Amino acid sequence: MQIGLVGLGKMGGNMRERLRNAGHTVVGYDTNPERADVDSLVELVDQLERPRAVWVMVPAGGATQHVIDQLAALLKPGDTVIDGGNSRWTDDERHAEDLGKRGINFVDAGVSGGVWGLKNGYALMVGGDKETVEDLEPIFDALKPDGPYGYVHAGRVGAGHFSKMVHNGIEYAMMQAYAEGWELLEKVDSVDNVREVFRSWQQGTVIRSWLLDLAVNALDDDHHLEKLRGYAEDSGEGRWTVEAAIDNAVPMPAITASLFARFASRQDDSPQMKMIAALRNQFGGHAVESAEK
**Within 13 A of 289's CA, how many CA atoms are on the CB side?**
14
| Cα separation, 186 vs 224, whole angstroms | 8
Task: Given the residues 17, 49, 101, 164, select the one marked as catalytic.
Answer: 164
Give me the sheet containing 80-83, strands edge to edge: 25-29, 2-6, 53-56, 80-83, 105-112, 123-127, 151-155
Give the number of other Cβ atoms within 10 Å of residue 160's Cβ: 30
Closest CA to 109 of 69, 151, 73, 70: 151
- Cα torsion angle, 216, 220, 224, 230, sign: negative
271 prior amide bond cis, ω within 30? no
Burial class (CB in 10 A: 0-12, 13-18, 19+), 49: exposed
Mapped onto helix, strand or coil, the DSSP state of residue 230 is coil
| Cα separation, 42 vs 33, whole angstroms | 15
Helix then strand then coil, in percent of the chain rounded to 5, is 50, 15, 35
Whether 131 sits among the annotated catalytic residues: the reply is no
- Cβ-contact 47, 149 below 8 angstroms: no
Whether 101 sits among the annotated catalytic residues: the reply is no
Task: Given the residues 76, 93, 171, 227, select the one marked as catalytic.
Answer: 171
| Cα separation, 90 vs 98, whole angstroms | 13
Catalytic residues: 164, 171
